[in-house]
Amino acid sequence: MRYDLDQVPEPIAYKLLAATVIPRPIAWVVTKGSEGINAAPYSFFNVMGSAPPTIALGLMAAPGRGFKDTALNILETSEFVVNLVPERLVQAMNLTAADAPRGVDELRLAGLATLPSNHVAPPRIADSPVAFECRALSSVVTGPCQTVVIGRVLAVHIEDRYLRDPARAHIESDALDLVARSFGSEYIRSHDRFELARPTWAGLKAEGKA
């Protein structure tokens, strides 16, 4: 089956992308604009590089509603904090996904405490085990209700108890207990893992596979 995405309705395109690109990490984004602090989760998100440290964030809105507070605040200030979501905070994260009116402080709505950031104005969520302070490098408006933000990570905050060796940045990744997005209202836990060594060309030749 082939779908030409310029010939199908947008909801079909969304289903094709969101139901196949899984699991997707969740960016719990905190911003601060002229109307206050905003928090909302987004799953069109990932790391794009480390030199410089770069993330990409896809921000969408329902047709006819325009950009959400997160996109408007980033376009206004270029600053945001990405917090990662452990399973113990999924209910609070889900509350901040509500379609609250502009200017509502979702952090207060969800009963979440914050800590000040070092490089940007938006705070970070105190109970999140990992937070990235970011500044937008560029924002590309790709549609009437969609923008892609490329952000530089200025600082990473990691709760001390998840660091085995701080100097070498050895992290107890499984202990972070992070969740990811699937499709619809489904989420995915990150405990089921396996290791796979990356092959080398020399090794493949030695094994007669190249």
Chunk the chain into consecutive blocks of 10 residues (it has 210) and report each block's average pLDDT, rounded to whole numbers: 95 95 97 93 97 96 75 94 98 94 89 98 98 96 90 98 94 95 93 90 92
The pLDDT, as a whole number, for residue 210 is 84
**Cβ contacts of residue 10 below 8 Å, gap of 6+?**
63
- CB-side exposure of 1: number of CA atoms within 13 Å? 3
The pLDDT, as a whole number, for residue 4 is 97
Task: Report the DSSP beta bridge partners of residue 155.
Answer: 133
Task: Report the DSSP beta bridge partners of residue 20.
Answer: none
| Dist CA 39 CA 125 (whole Å) | 9
The pLDDT, as a whole number, for residue 62 is 65
The pLDDT, as a whole number, for residue 101 is 84
Q: Strands 124-125, 53-60: parallel, antiparallel or unpaired by DSSP?
A: unpaired
| Dist CA 95 CA 106 (whole Å) | 8
Q: Which amino acid is it at 103?
A: G
> Which pair of tokens denotes residue 53?
């440290």
